[in-house]
Amino acid sequence: MSSTRMCRLLMSSVCVLAIEACVDPEASGPPALHGGVDVCADCGMSILAPNFAAAALIEREGRREHAVFDDVGCMLLWKKQATGVRILEEWSGTMEGNGWVRVNDGYFVVGSDVQTPMDFHIVCCASSSAADAVVRSRGGSRVPYASVQPVIAPSQSNQATPNSP
């Protein structure tokens, strides 16, 4: 093998390794949220309130990625119409503002007077005592995540639904 050919082979190998090193690793765990930059996968609004945001780790066409939402209600609506995706994990921001919690580990309050980005009035708390305090001070009821349903608030009844164009 000539030295020119050997040099090309070596350079090609180095380039392949460099490209592979630049590719993001497969998505896992909750996403890093970039407030004001990330947009809701359902309604397209900027995500400005991380304590009301939600996220899902999904698999689409064999590739893992995150879908982020400005409101838990948006994630629930999106899940109902999502096709070609497999949901691997889901998280919600907490009303207390202490980061992500897996939805099945959270304590959800629905129907309170807490204003959420898209008026679904669904909040997640990291502890049962925090959720009970929300119910006492702001109304609503505590429910497990599996029972949470997106309901359009009366203030939006004359407006387009959050996920319509």
Q: What is the pLDDT of residues 3-16, one digit of tens each?
A: 555 445 444 443 33
Q: How far apart are CA 58 and CA 85, in angstroms?
A: 6
Min mean pLDDT across 12-21, 48-57, 73-82, 112-121 is at 12-21
Q: What is the mean pLDDT of the chain?
A: 82
Residue 104 has pLDDT above 90, yes or no: yes
Whether the predicted pLDDT of 124 surpasses 70: yes
First to last CA, the chain: 62
**9: in domain:** no
Residue 7 lies in a domain: no
Instruction: Name the token pair of 42.
Output: 């359902």
User: Does any domain span residue 13?
Assistant: no
Decide: pTM greater than 0.85: no
In a domain, 110, yes or no: yes
For residue 158, is it within any domain? no
Q: Residue 127 is part of which domain span?
A: 26-153
Tokens linked to 5? 């050919």
Let me know if residue 41 belongs to a domain.
yes
Q: Is residue 1 part of a domain?
A: no
Q: Which two tokens stand for residue 17?
A: 């390794």
In a domain, 3, yes or no: no
Is it the case that residue 134 has pLDDT exceeding 50? yes
123 or 13: which leads in pLDDT:
123
* Number of domain units in the chain: 1
pLDDT of residue 2: 60
Q: Tell me if 89 sits within 8 A of 56, measured CB to CB.
A: yes
